[in-house]
Copies of this chain bind each other. A is one copy, B any other.
Amino acid sequence: MITKKRVTIKDVAAEAGVSYQTVSRVINNSNRVTDETRQKVTEVIEALNFRPSLAARNLSSQLTNIIGLIIPYSADYLIRDPHLLAQISGIDAECSANDYNLLLSTAGNSASGMKAFNRFLTQKIADGAIVVETADSTTGNDLLAKQDDPYIVIGYDIYNKNGYMVHSDDRQGAKEATLHLIERGHQRIGLINGPASGAIRSTDERLLGYKIALESAGLSFETELVVRGDYTRPSGQHATKQLLALDTPPTAIFALNDRMAIGAIQTIQTHGLTVPQDIVVVGFDDIPAAADFIPSLTTVSQPSRALGRTAAQILLKLIAGKPVKDHEVILPAKLIIRQSS
């Protein structure tokens, strides 16, 4: 380890011939300093290569200027989620703009994952936290509700009635997608569902959107047209086989995520049918592959980056003690029509 003695605010002060407090004012851009003094101090800072100690600042100011980003994904899941980076990007943009740093804390179900999570919770390491809600997030979130620091969930905070959350309008997105299919004349619309109801709020919301659309069009909801999947491509393939095996197969399939939708298209093609000529397919999420796939996939795009940005904005307000009126912010999802429909 380099044991070179650290350059402190006092070293700078001595060299510049001012008091340390003046140096402090300079590095904090306080306006209570003459331009002349500021100039001189700045030069010395440059010359001595002085870097203020964040730790000392934090200790003194009682703030860390760090926002924790808690991602309760297992590593594999994390890699596969295209939203996540977009969300992070939005969060990061907002944090950067406000001189906040972003501390990443993935917290899987593994021991080491929970360790990171615990460390985050048990140490005053950040001024607040953004939690990304996922299918995997069975543990941990409930713990968050108990501690003092403000936090906000991207997704649905099912553990804290008074919590803050930001999510996209899954219901409206699914409704639009379904209406889009109905408008194209489809009456029997198969739905590839997510895992068991209640586990993931977004799944329920999307399903609800589907139902509402049917209802508003005067179509009946038919149980046989709803097949369960688990958000993986193979499950989409499997579900599609079931749908195609029906006495009257659907003429359109709405998969609750893109990966399953791609699986659906593949299975349809395997059966000698063409998309969109024979069967139309719509997905949800707008993953990068959706645009690249042939046929390109009609899907519902979530405003991932905006979600991240909004979550960060609200959290920063909470940290600053400013009032935040809405506990739940819902951003609109957007239907993107491509070749598959």
Q: Which of B4, B84, B233 contacts A292 (CB 8 A)?
A: B233
- Measured in the bound complex, the distance between the Cα atoms of B269 and A288 in whole Å is 21
Q: Which residue on B lies nearest to A86, using beta carbons?
A: B79
Is A289 at the interface (CB under 8 A from chain B)? yes
In angstroms, how far is the closest chain B Cβ from the Cβ of A110? Answer: 9
Contact between B101 and A103, CB atoms less than 8 A apart: yes
B85–A112 CB distance below 8 A: no
CB nearest neighbor in B for A92: B106
Cβ of B148 and Cβ of A2 under 8 Å apart?
Answer: yes
Contact A101 to B105, CB < 8 A, known contacts A64-B55, A80-B288, A84-B85? yes
**Interface residue ranges of A84-111 to B (CB < 8 Å):** 84-86, 88-89, 92-93, 95-97, 99, 101-106
Residues of B contacting A47 in the complex (Cβ-Cβ under 8 angstroms): none
CB distance from A41 to the nearest CB of B (A): 15
- Report the nearest B residue to A123, measured CB to CB: B54
Task: For chain A, residues 122 to 178, give those with C-beta under 8 angstroms from any C-beta of chain B.
Answer: 122-125, 148
Complex CA distance for A79 and B120, rounded to whole angstroms: 26
Copies in the complex: 2
CB-defined contacts of A104 to chain B, threshold 8 Å? 69, 88, 92, 101-104
A298 to chain B, nearest CB (A): 17
Given A79-B89, A292-B259, A320-B1, A102 and B103 contact (CB-CB distance below 8 Å):
yes
Partner of A78, one of B1, B85, B102: B85
Most buried by B among A102, A120, A319: A102
CA distance A80 to B89 in the complex (A): 11
Are B119 and A51 within 8 A (Cβ)?
no
Query: Closest B-chain residue to A263, C-beta based?
Result: B292
A93 touches which of B64, B75, B96 (Cβ 8 Å) = B75
Q: Are A116 and B103 in contact, CB atoms less than 8 angstroms apart?
A: no
A64 vs B294: C-alpha distance in the bound complex, in angstroms? 49
Is A58 in the interface zone, CB < 8 Å from B? yes
Provide the A60-77 mask, 1 if CB < 8 A to any CB of B, else 0.
001010100100000100
* Chain A residues near B (Cβ < 8 Å): 1-2, 4, 6, 51-59, 62, 64, 66, 69, 75, 78-82, 84-86, 88-89, 92-93, 95-97, 99, 101-106, 112-113, 115-116, 119-120, 122-125, 148, 233, 259, 262, 266, 269, 288-289, 292-294, 305, 319-321
Chosen A-B contacts, 24 in total, with CB atoms closer than 8 Å, are A1-B319, A6-B124, A51-B123, A52-B124, A53-B123, A54-B55, A54-B123, A55-B56, A55-B58, A55-B124, A56-B59, A78-B85, A79-B86, A84-B85, A89-B106, A92-B105, A102-B104, A233-B292, A259-B292, A269-B294, A288-B289, A289-B289, A289-B292, A293-B293
